[in-house]
């Protein structure tokens, strides 16, 4: 089982789209995939058609005392081989509880260690907030994937994320291999080209040597069914990004 955390301390850079698209391609290749929505805004859950009201059973229950098992919270999606643990807006209240429940920073790692064996890949979709949920996702990660829009402000988000990753590496005492995916790239603009060049010069992470282009078919994709119907160069580029991620897997972390 491999845990891939998709995070960036900036919003709107394509984290949820990346989670959806990588899950799509992994499942299409025959892998058993679990996506966990760690964002109180629950965009990933909406994309899978899970309504906000009534609040579903989901991520919050992983932090309950005692926590519910993953298998009880994972639900099938429209795509065979892909399961989802949906988010609730009440996840936003977890931060307050972390002061009184000290062990909460490892709750997700423990839940995954207990019963994630049935999945080949677990994809964690994060909110941009650096808080308890992101700390949990980074503590549990085998690798960190940082979607980064090719525009100047997004580079700050990337730098913040790389600093946070270093902090997590020190606290957990093991490396956190980090992979940057340039996203929402508009190759016609000079700022996009300059941002891309700056991104490729960043130390501390592997940066994909291609880009996810802006693709209106991807923007309009509201659900998995739509995603398949709107198959285009954006989703295809994610297939190439997945090939790169799988090729850069150290031997010991590849699925048998
Ligand atoms: P985040 O999760 O980082 O906030 P999202 O994945 O929700 O970002 O993407 C932000 C917005 O941009 C969404 O409306 C999404 O549909 C759109 N989007 C993401 N990637 C692309 C792309 N490659 N081309 C066009 N629109 C995209
Ligand atoms: Mg998102």
Interface confidence (ipTM) of the complex: 0.99
The domain locations on the chain are 2-248
H or E element at residue 15: helix 15-28
For 13-72, write each residue's pLDDT tens digit. 999 999 999 999 999 999 999 999 999 999 999 999 999 999 999 999 999 989 999 999
- The residue to mutate among 147, 219, 233, 234, having the most atoms of ligand 1 within 8 angstroms of its beta carbon, is 219
> Rounded to an integer, what distance in angstroms lies between the CA atom of residue 29 and that of residue 8?
26
Whether 11 lines ligand 1, by a CB cut-off of 6 Å, is yes
151 in Cβ contact with 193 (< 8 Å):
no
Whether 14 lines ligand 1, by a CB cut-off of 6 Å, is yes
Per-residue model confidence (pLDDT) at position 249: 67
Work out the mean pLDDT of the chain and round it to a whole number.
Answer: 92
- Name 54's Cβ contacts closer than 8 Å, sequence gap at least 6: none
For 150-178, write each residue's pLDDT tens digit. 999 889 899 999 999 999 999 999 999 99
Q: What is the CATH number of domain 2-248?
A: 3.40.50.300
H or E element at residue 170: helix 152-172
């Amino acid at each position: 089982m491999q845990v891939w955390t998709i995070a960036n301390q900036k919003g709107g850079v394509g984290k949820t789209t990346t989670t959806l698209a990588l899950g799509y391609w992994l499942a299409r290749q025959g892998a058993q995939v679990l996506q966990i929505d760690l964002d109180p805004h629950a965009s990933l859950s909406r994309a899978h058609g899970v309504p906000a009201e009534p609040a579903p059973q989901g991520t919050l229950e992983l932090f309950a005392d005692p926590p519910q098992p993953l298998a009880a919270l994972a639900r099938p999606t429209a795509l065979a081989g892909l399961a989802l643990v949906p988010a609730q807006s009440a996840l936003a209240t977890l931060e307050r509880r972390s002061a009184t429940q000290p062990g909460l920073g490892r709750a997700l790692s423990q839940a995954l260690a207990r019963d994630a064996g049935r999945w080949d890949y677990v994809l964690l979709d994060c909110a941009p907030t650096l808080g308890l949920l992101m700390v949990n996702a980074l503590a549990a990660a085998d690798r960190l994937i940082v979607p980064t829009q090719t525009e100047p402000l997004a580079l700050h988000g990337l730098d913040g994320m790389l600093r946070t990753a270093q902090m997590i590496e020190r606290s957990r005492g093991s490396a956190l291999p980090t992979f940057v995916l340039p996203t929402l790239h508009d190759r016609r603009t000079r700022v996009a080209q300059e941002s891309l060049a700056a991104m490729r010069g960043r130390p501390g992470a592997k940066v994909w040597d291609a880009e996810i282009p802006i693709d209106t078919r991807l923007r309009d994709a509201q659900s998995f069914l739509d995603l398949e119907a709107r198959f285009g160069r954006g989703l295809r580029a994610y297939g190439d990004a997945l090939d790169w991620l799988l090729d850069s897997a150290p031997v010991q972390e590849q699925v048998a």
